[in-house]
Chain A
Amino acid sequence: MARKEKSRREKEFGLTAYILKPMLVTAKQTLKSTINRPNTVQYPWEKLVLPDVFRGRPGLIFEKCIGCGICMRICPNRCIELVEVDDLKHEEGKPPKKVKRPRVNVGRCMMCGFCAEYCPTDAMIVTPEYELAAYTREEMIYDPYKLQFPGVPGNEVHIEEILPSELNKGVAPRRHVEHVDLPVVDDKKCISCSRCAKDCPVGAVKMVEVGVNEKGRPIKRPVFDKEKCVSCETCVEVCPKDALTMQEVQ
């Protein structure tokens, strides 16, 4: 309760108030600290216990990652790049396949947690590691193998939201709402190069023949699968003629 009622200048400035009251307060604290332990955590011999949601450095679960690049696009400091590395699992006798996985510059990372939040497959997680000192700057760039971390389900960050049109209608929040945005193709600009279909990380783009042009070559247009698309915008970036744009669903 705010003490607005009493006039402040006469706030019980009686005899004990001269210097005795502060000395009593400090004496009580001295006794409490001597009989029990003081409030110090003697780092580095003792460390605090961190909750699962603690945002330390980003971590990667290699098997779940699809190489879509959403983490690369959303990072505010541009610390993440996708690099081609050998896949971890490969069949006997054959060379391992090359896949795209993120490489994080942990020295620049500000531990905002966006990569973990926007990852469609929960492959990027937040980890409780914060002791990241190294001797050179090159050591601070974690390649996908070093970035791995054995995470618990509490380390994942989920977005649970609703569409603006569903507000006040009692619709429960759910996951993956942001994946309702699909790309649309501008017919005049598309040249049927099929690069969007080749680069899509989840295989949601199929090229469909819609006709034949003057020279007898088939004209193909991409068709997007609503169930598989994760709105990563890889196709939008890769298209050489900028024929694709994301269509918002409100």
Chain B
Amino acid sequence: MAEMWINMGPQHPMTHGLWNLRVKVDGETITDAEPVIGYLHRGWEKMVENRKYPQIIPMADRLCYGSSFTWSHVYCMAVENLMGLEVPERAKWIRAMSDELQRIGNHLMWLAAIGPDLGNLTIFLYAIREREMFLDLFQSLCGARMTYNYCRIGGVRNAAPPNWERDVLRTLDYFEKRIDEYEDLVDRNKVFRMRMEGLAPMSGKDAINLGITGPVLRASGVKYDVRHNDPYEIYDEVDWHMCTADEGDTYARYRVRMDEMRMSVQIVRDILKKMPKDGPIRVKPPRNAPVGTGFARMEDPRGESLIYVVGKGDDEPYRLKVRSPLYVILSATPLLLRGHKVADVPSILGMIDVCMGETDR
């Protein structure tokens, strides 16, 4: 059979999000791949040039619903960098804690998405059920389940409700037992291991050359985490360590994210112990930003996200540039898919955790 190009997408139940993956297939083996994106382009970066600075915060939430708090957090950090504003201590601790809870929520969504790709619907329902608990926590904190609108330029919106610490600790205790159950269901499952081990290995050097960050990079053995190498907020005062793996195949990427979930639980527990109990949580930001530039970067659950703001002295930004981690990782698709079978595509792409909202903006 001659080599033919096959379109997987844009309407496909397996590619999470709206994009087109063209693969060149020779029988069952893939010889080349080409991702085609842009179906979800909403003109975000142009839209925010007509909004005031506080109005952009709920729009930054909607860049990607899976990691919504981290996007508004990095936006607020960028604007604070531009305005030269300092944030109260207690707000930094609350922001870090919400970051880590968001990270757990995102990794649970990823876990729920790989189940049906590989044919198992059970893990989908289990992971969504756990994610509901974390969404309920956020709902009692700020009133919404997915797009929180909780971070503000100068702090956070409101203090935690009463009984917050008790609720979070209860949820985390229950959740740790469930992580053990997921590992029983996936790690100790011969069929899952058969489909994940040895697939799509990527060396550390290739990953660094392509500009990949996040769990995909750490699974190839490179020890790079923005929380560690360039600490923001209070990550240098919290007791934690980086999660890496050596082999660089699909199973290693899976393993890194599961370890990160446990690490997030440990971080939240530490934050609750060390957080200052009272103090201001919010500072009044100026209405007009000075002329200049500001940027901030942080560790999104999927990689390193960065926002660059150019102010023009007015209350609206002149330009806002978003660096999305998945936009870069998708460029590595040809490297990952070459030489594998068509049936491996869901397994490999699932471990990258694709989300088109932030890729296309």
Majority SS at the chain A contact face: loop
- Chain B residues with Cβ below 8 Å from A158 are 158
Q: Is the CB of A2 within 8 A of B243?
A: yes
B158 pairs with A167, CB closer than 8 A: no
Q: Tally inter-chain residue pairs, CB-CB below 8 A.
A: 132
B262 and A159 contacting across the interface, CB-CB below 8 Å? no
In the assembled complex, which residues on chain A have CB atoms less than 8 Å from the CB atom of B344?
Answer: none
* Contact among B58, B144, B191, B259 with A76 in the assembled complex (CB-CB below 8 Å): B58
- How many B residues have CB within 8 A of the partner chain? 53
Report the count of interface residues on A (CB-CB < 8 A): 52
B263 and chain A: residue at smallest CB distance: A2
| A4 sits at the interface (CB 8 A) | yes
Is B88 interfacial (CB 8 A cutoff)? Answer: yes
Contact present for A112 and B149 (CB under 8 Å): yes
Chain B nearest Cβ from A147, distance in angstroms: 18
Cβ–Cβ contact A18 & B190, under 8 A:
yes
- Do the beta carbons of A17 and B139 come within 8 Å of each other? no
Is B280 within 8 A of A172, CB to CB? yes
Contact B243 A164 (CB under 8 A): no
Cross-chain contact of A110 among B58, B159, B188 (Cβ < 8 A) = B58
Across the interface, A160 reaches (CB within 8 A) one of B141, B154, B245, B281, namely B281
Which listed residue, A50, A53, A76, touches B59 by the CB 8 Å rule? A76
Instruction: Identify which of A29, A157, A163 contacts B283 (C-beta below 8 A).
Output: A163
A81 part of interface (Cβ distance < 8 Å): no
Is B43 located at the chain interface by the 8 A CB criterion? no
Which of chain B's residues have a CB closer than 8 A to the CB of A29?
126
Measured CA separation A181–B55 after assembly (Å): 19
Interface residues of A in 98-135 (CB under 8 A from B): 110-114, 117, 126
Q: Please provide the chain B residues from 157 to 186 with a CB less than 8 Å away from any CB of chain A in the complex.
A: 157-159, 161, 181, 184-186
In the assembled complex, the CB of B277 is this many whole angstroms from the nearest CB of chain A, namely 13
Assess the B140–A53 pair: CB atoms within 8 A.
Answer: yes
Contacts of A17 in B (CB 8 A): 188-190
- A8 contacts chain B at the CB level, 8 A cutoff: yes
| Chain B residues closer than 8 Å to A248, beta-carbon distance | 286-288
Rank and list the top 4 A-B pairs by shortest CB-CB distance, nearest first: A161-B282, A55-B143, A76-B55, A17-B188
5 extra interface residue pairs, beta carbon distance < 8 Å, beyond A3-B259, A248-B286: A8-B251, A53-B139, A55-B143, A160-B280, A164-B154
5 contacts between A and B (CB under 8 A): A76-B56, A114-B54, A157-B158, A162-B283, A178-B284
Chain A residues packing against B (C-beta within 8 Å): 1-4, 8, 11-13, 16-19, 21-22, 24-26, 29, 39, 50-51, 53-55, 74-76, 110-114, 117, 126, 157-164, 167, 171-173, 177-178, 181, 246, 248, 250
Residues in chain B within 8 A of chain A (CB atoms) = 51-52, 54-56, 58-59, 85-86, 88, 122, 126, 129, 139-144, 147, 149, 154-155, 157-159, 161, 181, 184-191, 241, 243, 245, 251, 255, 259, 262-263, 266, 280-284, 286-288
